[in-house]
Homo-oligomer: A and B are copies of this chain.
């Protein structure tokens, strides 16, 4: 599924489920054009890897369980971004290269659009005709609710996250990995045949993917000359350099091994693309990164493991 078609499906659901009112504009501003569309792409790539026949059928139907899940995951992601950017949260100004929603439409419009997208994600899932639709909602709400993603946001914003490296990893698992797990495992749950053993492997695969995604993202953030206050306060590469370094290598390595077992060709393509982008950012800015780290660490093994993937 191409990013363009993923976006067209998002637009289709916005047209269908939103009032034709000026607030329609707020939702569209906050969701389109999408960013990397990493999460909805994973929904589709997982389906195409596990069930190519169902994938072909689902492509044509914007209300197929997978089209609904892909849109729900992306709308849910957008709501977390809107709320994260609010002044009382991270107080950000730029998102995806444009001013944050609350700066353009005001805080209450941004807050309510976030709430609206949150509801919308469940509305989409409830339209699924898959026999496991209710189970998917149960998983989705558990993974992204107060014990999941939201607890990750709490750990991030409170002093908890940086207190120990374990807390950092837990934060990354909850705040970043859970939504990626919902995309991959939610997609697997809605294939034609139920395969519990495969679902267990995918749980581990998607959890590691999410954690790696965030650890590498943290590293690439150090490419900037000036770091934000929040970044300086929470980036684990600055506070637990040695542990973060070792964990990243271990985690990338385990992930590569697991990926060889699972053979998810299309999913691996998406991850490879992401890694390639990160490798080039990190290689290009190695000097700046090392300056922030205040010591010479050998980034070569990290880069090698990303290059070796798939």
Contacts and interface: CB of A to CB of B under 8 A. Distances in A.
A126 interface: yes
Nearest to A123: B141
Contacts of A23: 146, 151, 154
Interface string A188-226: 000000000000000000000000000000000000000
Nearest to A153: B112
A109 B157 CA distance: 9
A163 to B, nearest CB: 13
Contacts of A123: 138, 141-142, 145
Interface in A89-148: 89, 106-109, 111-112, 114-120, 122-123, 125-127, 133-135, 137-138, 141-142, 144-147
Contacts of A145: 17, 116, 119-120, 123
A87 B134 CA distance: 36
Contacts of A27: 146
Contacts of A134: 126, 133-134, 137
Contacts of A86: 88, 111
A127 to B, nearest CB: 7
A108 B144 CA distance: 17
Place the interface of chain A in its size category: 35 or more
Given A122-B141, A141-B119, A19 B151 contact: yes
Nearest to A119: B145
Given A86-B111, A111-B83, A147-B18, A122 B120 contact: no
A264 interface: no
A18 B83 CA distance: 21
A277 interface: no
Contacts of A107: 88
A21 interface: yes
A290 to B, nearest CB: 33
Contact of A146 (B120, B142, B146): B120
In this complex, the member of A106, A109, A145 whose beta carbon has the largest number of chain B beta carbons within 10 angstroms is A145
A138 B126 contact: yes
Given A126-B138, A134-B134, A138-B127, A150 B111 contact: no
Interface string A217-245: 00000000000000000000000000000
B89 A108 contact: yes
B122 A137 contact: yes
Given A17-B147, A120-B141, A123-B138, 6 more contacts: A83-B112, A88-B107, A88-B108, A108-B157, A119-B145, A134-B134
15 contacts: A17-B145, A17-B146, A23-B151, A23-B154, A89-B111, A109-B154, A112-B153, A112-B157, A116-B145, A117-B146, A119-B141, A119-B144, A123-B142, A126-B141, A133-B134
